[in-house]
Amino acid sequence: MTRPTLDNWLTPEHVHWSLRHVREMLPTARIRRGQYSHELNAAHDQSLLQLEFPGTHQSFVLGQWLESTEVDSLTVLRGNDLVLEWRAADVADDDVHLLFSVTKSVTSLLVGVLVGRGLIEIEAPVTQYVPAVVGSGFDGATVRNLLDMTTAFAFIEDYNPGDDLRAYRNAAGWYPTEPGAPNLHEFIATREADGQHGQRFRYQSPATDLLGWICESVTTQPFATALSENVWAPMGAEADADIAVDRQGSPRNAGGMSVTPRDLARLGLLVADGGRGIIPIDYLDDLTHNGSTQQWADGDFAPWLSGGAYRSCWYQPRLDPAVVMGVGIHGQMLYVDRARRIVVAKQSSWSLADDTDAHNDAYLACQSIARALN
């Protein structure tokens, strides 16, 4: 193969390799596992691959859909039972795979722990924790606004990519940068205001990077250390995870985490299990049920998940009860059906970064799996 470079690692010809080798492309911080791994029972049901489900424009058979839509792994849990493990031909169980924006959902869980410990107040202004953003587009926003993506600052998230996203990725070190270019925190602190906070859902990833900055501020620890000690190790991950950092060590909390397929499923199971005393149950109940359907209807993704909501960095489809999802570009999805205690973890390397129909097909596949296993 021709090895990708920082200029082209996210292009269609390289993305299948790159998303499983981020630590070879970018600086990363290790999120250490603990002394034990949460045990999963082998209970494989290959008949699930014959499951028929309705897609956006046509029906699919699960196994054929997995083979034909650039999926790298699918891991299905029913409680502690490992019901299905599907891997693309060259994908190993211990490959750590970039989650993109499912990272936001993980960041939210650490925020929940810190809220439970009294270190973060959800309705407090973000400037209380990060004075560096006083006078920026984040001035006047609350932690709740960051969690629900209802901040209003000048930034357009266009995966073509547009100018804003290119500058953002330059700051994060995901593209080559010129000497003197801003780092990630400098990029965040120089965003300008664009409207009133709290009005509608606006998909702007730097808001979640600021959440990670707050976590570091209140714990006085690097984000990777705080996540390891408060979530990753206690939940019983079987492998270390990684998070991409910029040239000053600031983490990409909005999209830089890489994990193994089973550990992604374990993360979903932690949510399905009500936090197991690690994540406060009231925080999980809130992110499951209390999103604003009006802010969603007025927001950027209104045509997708009609009647849904976004709460604390998790999507709420609002069809089956107590379902939440983490979703990332290039085909990442963590589907958690808390009522049925079913988790579907999907990692992919779509050639196109973003495709609404493909995201919807993935959601419908996960929903159909959960209903079939009920």
> Which sequence positions are flagged as catalytic?
101
**Residues paired with 342 in a beta bridge:** 78, 337
Q: What three-state secondary structure class fits 310?
A: strand
DSSP 41: E
Rounded to whole angstroms, what are the CA distances from 265 to 147, 157, 306?
Answer: 22, 28, 26
Place of tokens 């266009």: 158
Can you read off the two tokens belonging to residue 49?
Answer: 């691959």
Q: What three-state secondary structure class fits 340?
A: coil
Q: What span, in angstroms and rounded, lies between the C-alpha atoms of 177 and 183?
A: 10
Q: What span, in angstroms and rounded, lies between the C-alpha atoms of 312 and 323?
A: 14
Q: What span, in angstroms and rounded, lies between the C-alpha atoms of 146 and 207?
A: 5
- What letter represents residue 8's amino acid? N
Interhelix angle for 102-116 vs 281-289, to 10°? 140
Q: What span, in angstroms and rounded, lies between the C-alpha atoms of 362 and 329?
A: 12
Cis status of the peptide bond prior to 179, with omega within 30 of 0? no
Tell me whether residue 193 is exposed, middle or buried, using C-beta atoms within 10 angstroms of its C-beta: 0 to 12, 13 to 18, 19 or more: middle
CA 210, 128, 116, 238 dihedral sign is: positive
Q: What span, in angstroms and rounded, lies between the C-alpha atoms of 88 and 223?
A: 31
**Residues 163 and 170 sit within 8 Å (Cβ to Cβ):** no
**Residues 262 and 93 sit within 8 Å (Cβ to Cβ):** yes
- What letter represents residue 55's amino acid? G
